């Protein structure tokens, strides 16, 4: 089943409102048994970060047998400090639920942000105590625009 979760519009209007609509975070969800894939499209920022956390929390609560959460990052635009904070919170929540987190199709900009902030290894490493999870399946997947 696929669901689309659009982020609420920012309260303040701007001269670039058309561009703002294009950059708003949208999530698509596809669940198959023990795996859920959330596709991210748009900016992960102060205005939209809560949407991702809400979607992840909902999936974790609704699927007690969940083993893997895959975030498709190919369509991810700008990520600010709140977006990074939510990614870290998602990692903590998935670890607590013993669910593997995979940041798939990472953009070079996302990899750069994670490397500069020292969070790349933490966000892409297998979960603590992940004896049954494949160590590298999808973890290193990222988009190379060579």
- Domain with 41 in it: 21-124
Would 99 be classed as within a structural domain? yes
Task: Please indicate, yes or no, if residue 35 is contained in any of the structural domains.
Answer: yes
Supply the CATH number for residue 63's domain. 3.30.750.24
- Cα of 81 vs its chain's centroid, Å: 14
Q: Residue 8 domain-assigned?
A: no
> Is 140 among the domain residues?
no
Distance, CA of 51 to CA of 76 (rounded, Å): 14
Q: Is residue 103 part of a domain?
A: yes
Q: Tens-digit pLDDT profile for the chain (146 aa)?
A: 444 445 444 444 444 444 456 689 999 999 888 999 999 999 999 999 999 999 999 999 999 999 999 999 999 999 999 999 999 999 999 999 999 999 999 999 999 999 999 999 999 987 665 544 443 333 344 443 33
User: Looking at residue 127, what is its pLDDT?
Assistant: 67
Q: How many folded domains does the chain comprise?
A: 1
- Determine, yes or no, domain membership for 41: yes
Q: Is residue 45 part of a domain?
A: yes
> How much is the pTM?
0.76
Concatenating the DSSP letter of every residue in the chain gives -EEEEEPPPPSS--TTHHHHHHHS-EEEEEEETTEEEEEEEEEESTTTHHHHHHHHHHHHHH-TT--EEEEEEEEEEEE-HHHHHHHHHHHHHHHHTT-EEEEESB-HHHHHHHHHTT-HHHHHSPPTT-TTS-SSTTTS-B----
The first and second tokens of residue 66, run together, are 């969940």
Residue 11 lies in a domain: no
- pLDDT at residue 22, rounded to an integer: 61
């Amino acid at each position: 089943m696929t669901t689309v979760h659009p982020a609420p519009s920012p309260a303040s209007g701007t001269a670039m409102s058309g561009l703002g609509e294009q950059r708003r975070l949208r999530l698509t969800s596809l669940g198959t048994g023990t795996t859920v894939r959330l596709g991210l499209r748009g900016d992960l920022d102060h205005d939209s970060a809560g949407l991702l956390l809400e979607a992840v929390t909902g999936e974790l609560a609704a699927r007690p047998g969940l083993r893997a959460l895959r975030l498709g990052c190919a369509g991810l635009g700008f990520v600010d400090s709140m977006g990074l904070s939510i990614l870290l919170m998602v990692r903590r929540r998935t670890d607590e639920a013993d669910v593997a987190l995979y940041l798939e199709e990472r953009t070079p900009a996302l990899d750069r942000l994670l490397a500069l902030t020292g969070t790349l290894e933490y966000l892409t490493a297998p979960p603590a105590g992940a004896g049954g999870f494949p160590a590298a399946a999808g973890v290193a997947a990222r988009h190379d625009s060579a």
